[in-house]
Structure 1
Amino acid sequence: MNYFKKILRFAIPYRKFGFLNIFFNILYALFSALSFAALIPMLDVLFKPEDKVYKEPLYTGFSGLKDYLQEYINYLVTSYSGDDEMKGLILVVGLVLVLFLLKNIFNYLAMFFITFLRNGVLKDIRNNMYKKVVDLPISYFSEKRKGDVIARITSDVLEIQHSFLSVLELIVREPLTILFTILIMFGISAKLTIFVFLFIPIAGMIISRVGKSLKKKSDRVQREQGEFLSIVEETLGGLRVIKAFSAESKFYQTFAKSTNRFFNFSNSLLNRKNLASPTSEFLGILVIGVLLWYGGKMVLVDQTLDASSFIAYMGLAYNILTPAKAISKATYGVKKGNAAAERVLDILETQNPIKNPKSSQSKVTFENCLELKNVSFKYENDYVLEDFNLKVNKGHTVALVGQSGSGKSTIANLATRFYDVNKGEILIDDINIKNIKKKSLRNLMGLVTQDSILFNDTVKNNIGLGKEGATHEEIIEAAKIANAHEFILELPDGYETNIGDSGNKLSGGQKQRLSIARAVLKNPPIMILDEATSALDTESERLVQDALEKMMRNRTSIVIAHRLSTIQNADSIVVMHKGKIIEQGTHDELMKSAKNYRKLVEMQNLA
């Protein structure tokens, strides 16, 4: 119920549809019971034509209400039909048909309004989940599989709609249908109703035992679905490698094992769920059987109940079965939905450790320097940086070099606040970046990474991501600075060409130049280049390097370099080893006096 309450808060904006649904459900429940009660006068007309009432009956109190209503309807039918019995029959049949028609109209209207609520909640949960996924730090996704996150946004949310939100349809309608039906049943025969309802708690206990393990089984199904979606996502991302190493069968086996587990879990879940309907139906028919025996005895032997009332009573008793079955199915639905809701709320309620400051610094310009002061950081157990200090003055280019794992890319992640430092602080103009709003901080920085991250969209929209509302002329200018304009014009539709998933219609050098154009369009005061040329051939590297030099002119830059030939003009080169600075200076200074940097240069030249 706790998960159910948390999901229900998404229904608040759609509460007017909920109230309309409740209103029409009340009318549906009332007319559902009345439509069966109206059978009594029709049966009286058919079976007891001699019992016509010519004089309007007198109301004698609540205890005689049933007889009063029966006689009053009989009186109205007699008044209308006179001696023509078919006329009276047509009237009663018409009354029953009108009641059933109204019942179904109200049912449709109730379903019509709840549809807006259900789909609205579905939309809002998905929007909130997407917003949360985008907001959560990168560290969160190093622990979660992408396919699992996709499964939560798609199938888990859909499961909530099918299970939890279907309960909203039943929460008023079915209990009220049962309530109104029972009231009329009591009106017809209190003795018979009390006798029948002695059996209902026993039936309820049997049904609840069937659904006990549904949540656990459903949770296993949902988790396994996330697992094979992750395998699909990884397969599509690494298809070239899989084909190159002829690993198709290995990945197929992994996928088949996951779908086989999903098959077994789903069978177990659905078989348990499918047991609910026949169990509840059989128990319902069992109650009807007892009712036929005891009620028949009251009509035939005791003669305390007339035949027409008993037939209508049987209709009312059967009328309880459908809502009782629906409530039974809804109970299973809630148990199944609990597992999905738990997985959805796990994301929605995850706290982002990288928070915006409550009162942000109004100053968000960059005037003097970016400084890392006594910074220590670890991803898991071991520190990647320890007591690290670095100062980057405005307008200067600082290059970071060193072996893989020395902490170079970590500095880029910390400066952009993709991660927060464990100790120490990062300052921009003596302001701790934790006191600057994340959006304001990242507006000061441009990022070009080794992997050109592009989107399945046009060239224009990929570059335009760098600046909201950029004009076509600004996009062209950025592309020219990035040496991308010429190859863009050669594309089938120029700037309107769709570049495919992850830009796979372009070469590595072309993708990188689009990434640079995007950063140029943003025009930030601080540029971070994370091994921006390491994956390129010589010709592409020359074009990209030229584009980078144009972009870095009169700009503060932190360059993480793999190819040392690209950073010889840097104002300062920082040589790193295991999270510490071991050498620092210009290219010429380091070549003369420092052995580590010189050794790295000589090794690359030799290569």
Structure 2
Amino acid sequence: MINNSGNAFDYSLFKRLLKFTKPYKFVFYFVAFAAIILSVFAIVRPYLTQEAIDLSINTQDYDNLVYYTALMLITLVLEVIFQFGFIYYANWLGQEVIRDIRVKLFEHMLGFKKQYYDNSAVGRLVTRAVSDIETIASIFSQGLFMIISDLLKMLVVVGFMFYQSWKLSIVVLLVMPFILYATRVFQQKMKSAFEEVRTQVANLNSFVQERITGMKIVQIFGRENAEYERFKAINAKHKKAWIKTVWYNSIFFPVAEVATSITIGVLVWYGGMQIVENNNLSLGLIVMFIQLTQMLFRPLRQIAEKFNTLQMGMVAANRVFKILDTQASITDVGAIEAKQLKGAIQFNEVRFSYIKGEEVLKGISFAVNEGETVAIVGATGAGKSTIINLLNRFYEIDSGTISIDGVSVKDYTLASLRNQIAVVLQDVFLFADTIMNNITLKENSITEEDVITAAKAIGVHDFIMSLPNGYQYNVKERGVMLSSGQRQLIAFLRAYVSKPSILILDEATSSVDTYSEQLMQDATERITKGRTSIVIAHRLATIKKADKIIVMDAGQIVEMGKHDELLEKENGYYRNLYEVQFLQENTLDV
């Protein structure tokens, strides 16, 4: 885990970033070489200016002036070429690095347990994967390499100054400690300010993403004004964080500019006095020192500005690497490929808790035989959906064992296990894509012909063809162009075409209209035939046809058996549930 110690520059963090440049080491070396060459060019032009003044202008030698002018032109062209290569490839390197980091981050996030997403705001994760990673690119394009280039320029300039005149060099450097101190204070303040900026950006993204996603709820309950006020408060904090960075910039850069002007003024006064009194210095030397002073102080101001960019990049990198260092993935050490499972499921003394110390499943045990359809019923929070999540290994159990066909689910490879289990959820998620792509999820092995055949088999082909463009109809984000029942039919077809060994219907018909439910019931009979199925449902028609009913309450199995057997238990949990809920529902349906 990256430790953000508050240092100006985190070397361990930067060393980790450099590992991503290894595939592009030749570009990296070229950018470093270009930085060195540009530092040399920094003194060439001022030196040629001095020579032109002292050896050409003062002596009125026209041919010599043309010669030095040509040299300056050639130097300028070469400097432009290297400057172009430096800027282009530094930016190119930054984009290649963040592409690789973003791919690595997304791959890492794909393997996270559901529990990680339960506890993480989507807006924050989007910020990390998009804007924070984009900010990392500035470390290479506008931050580190630019700072190194500027530092090299300053070192070369200072060395050349002392070589030409140590007296004038001391005049120039008298103000340097003050500027260095101001720069140090400035970068410390900016680091703290940028950390606050990134925090407020994440808060703003998270708030906006959640409210846009849940806009229907906001409008239904008339919370527009309340959410508007909350947004204004969050936006104000975001503005305040940025204003703080503007405040520090507004103080530092004018101070640095004044210090530069004062230094040049003292340099002209002192150099001019020397020329007037004893002519120890030349006019060309004074002009050269004025140019060198600007070259020395300008990079110093730019270093402070680019340090802001570097700080933002390092803060963003720290946040991204914290996610990369998060060990929230399901352990995938299984070696057995789950192919064509028979579907015999065994839960043995399984205990599980989302929050440590608060058990959701309290040592449950049950068996589902091959090809059997089992219904799980119980009040909300009884642990029904948790069983499904554990079977798919979306969470790790606290103790006990879960096995399929006599093999622990941990011994199967994670991908092959999940490929053999199809789930239809009550809350169906559809991507902003065509119906065809939402069904196949772009799995190349599933052809359009397979989808159409499956759709006809379960009776949803006519419904799909009634939509504009049929299977190519774009359902938009989260499937908003379809009704709840239509979305569930699409999800059922998606599960059907995957040809699973085990089918799970997690309250898949609880919010479906009567017509769609009849389609689902007919399809359920076809898809569950000869296939192990687990059905979590509220509707009586779904439960009555199950081979076995598991009744749960508060994380425990309280009853188990067939529908008729459970009804015969006087004061039984299932019987009470049937009389209070299922019977009433059946009457209403009639």
Q: TM-score, normalising length from structure 1?
A: 0.90
Aligned to 1:373: 348
Cα shift at 1:362: 4.7
CA distance in 2, matches of 1:364, 1:295: 87
Q: Does 1:298 align with 2:274?
A: yes
Q: 2-side partners of 1:180 and 1:532: how far apart?
A: 72
Aligned position for 2:484: 508
| Contact kept? 2:432, 2:474, Cα under 8 Å | yes
Question: In the alignment, does 2:522 pair up with 1:549?
Answer: no
Deviations 1:269-298 (A, max 9, x none): 222234333233333333333333433343
Q: Deviations over 1:141-181 (max 9, x none)?
A: 22111111112222222332335642233143212222222
Displacement, 1:363?
A: 5.7
SS in 1 for 2:396: coil
Q: 2:299 maps to which residue?
A: 323
Q: Which amino acid aligns with 1:597?
A: Y
Q: CA deviation at 1:446?
A: 0.4
Which of 233, 249, 252 does residue 273 from structure 1 map onto?
Answer: 249
Matching of residues 210-225 of structure 1 within 5 Å = 210-225=186-201
- Per the TM alignment, residue 353 of structure 1 is displaced from its structure 2 partner at its CA by 4.3
User: Structure 2 residue aligned with 1:598, among 559, 565, 575?
Assistant: 575
Q: Deviations over 1:541-570 (max 9, x none)?
A: 111121222111110011111223212111
Matches of 1:435 and 1:274 in 2, distance apart? 61
Q: Deviations over 1:163-207 (max 9, x none)?
A: 564223314321222222223222211333245334323320122
Alpha-carbon distance in 2 for matches of 1:282, 1:435: 70
SS in structure 2 at match of 1:49: coil
SS in 2 for 1:38: helix
Question: For 2:188, what is the secondary structure of its paired residue?
Answer: coil
Q: Closer, same or farther in 2 for the Cα pair 1:396/1:354, shift >3 Å?
A: same
Pick closer, same or farther for the CA change 1:275–1:135 going to 2, 3 Å. farther
1:100-131 Cα offsets, whole Å, 9 max, x none, are: 22212211121121121011122222222222
The partner residue of 2:218 within 235, 242, 248 is 242
Equivalent residue, structure 1, for 2:6? none
Shift in Å at residue 312 of structure 1? 1.5
1:208 positional shift: 0.9
Q: What is the CA–CA distance in structure 1 between the aligned matches of 2:241 and 2:232, rounded to whole Å? A: 14
* 1:361 paired residue among 329, 336, 346: 336
Instruction: Note closer, same or farther for the CA distance 1:302–1:331 as it changes in structure 2 (3 Å cut).
Output: farther
Aligned twin of 1:134: 110
State how far apart, in whole Å, the 1-side matches of 2:471 and 2:193 are.
51
**Secondary structure of residue in 2 paired with 1:383:** strand
- Aligned partner of 1:588 in structure 2 is 564
Q: Give the distance between the partners of 1:445 and 1:467, measured in 2 at CA.
A: 16
Match of 1:7 among 11, 17, 25: 17
**Contact 2:186–2:304, Cα closer than 8 Å, also in 1:** no
CA distance in 1: counterparts of 2:269 and 2:474, whole angstroms: 75
> Which structure 1 residue ranges, 5 or more long, are not aligned?
51-84
Aligned-partner residue type, residue 573 of structure 2: N
User: Is residue 48 from structure 1 mapped to residue 32 from structure 2 by the alignment?
Assistant: no
1:80 maps to none
Query: In structure 2, how many angstroms separate the alpha carbons of the residues matched to 1:127 and 1:154?
Result: 11
Deviates more, 1:386-395 or 1:151-160: 151-160
List per-residue Cα deviations over 1:252-275 (Å, max 9, x = no partner). Answer: 111111111111121112222343
Give the equivalent residue in structure 2 for 1:57: none
Find the counterpart in structure 2 of residue 56 from structure 1.
none
Task: Describe the SS at the equivalent of 1:492.
Answer: coil
Alignment of 1:132-531 (within 5 A): 132-163=108-139, 165-357=141-333, 360-362=335-337, 364-367=339-342, 369-380=344-355, 381-465=357-441, 467-531=443-507
Contact 2:182–2:252, Cα closer than 8 Å, also in 1? no
What whole-Å deviation, never above 9, does each CA across 1:46-75 have from its counterpart, x for those lacking one?
A: 44328xxxxxxxxxxxxxxxxxxxxxxxxx
Q: Is the partner of 2:474 in helix, strand or coil?
A: coil
Q: For residues 30-179 of structure 1, what are the structure 2 equivalents within 5 Å?
A: 30-49=40-59, 85-163=61-139, 165-179=141-155
**Please, which moves more after superposition, 383-392 or 181-190?**
181-190
CA distance in 2, matches of 1:333, 1:228: 21
SS of match in other structure, 1:409: helix
Paired letter, 1:26: I
Q: Hey, what does 2:588 align to over in structure 1?
A: none
Equivalence for 1:538 = 514
Q: Which one of 540, 554, 566 corresponds to residue 564 of structure 1?
A: 540
How many residue pairs get aligned? The number is 572
In structure 2, give the amino acid aligned to 1:492. Answer: P
Alpha-carbon shift at residue 304 of structure 1 (Å): 2.7
Q: Is the 8 A contact 2:343 2:532 kept in 1?
A: no
290 and 339 in structure 1: CA distance in 2 versus 1, 3 angstrom threshold = same
- Do the aligned residues in 2 keep the contact of 1:164 with 1:337 (CA within 8 Å)? no
Which sections of structure 2, spanning at least 5 residues, go unmatched?
1-9, 586-590
Report if the CA contact (8 A) 2:260-2:297 is conserved: yes
Shift of 1:454: 0.9
Partner amino acid, structure 1, of 2:36: I
Label 1:195 to 1:87 Cα distance change in 2 as closer, same or farther (>3 A): closer
SS state at 2:530 partner? coil
Map of 1:58 onto structure 2 = none
C-alpha contact 1:484 1:510 (8 A) present in aligned 2: no
Return 213-222 or 519-528, whichever deviates more.
Answer: 213-222
Larger CA Rg, structure 1 vs 2: 1
Identical columns (%): 33
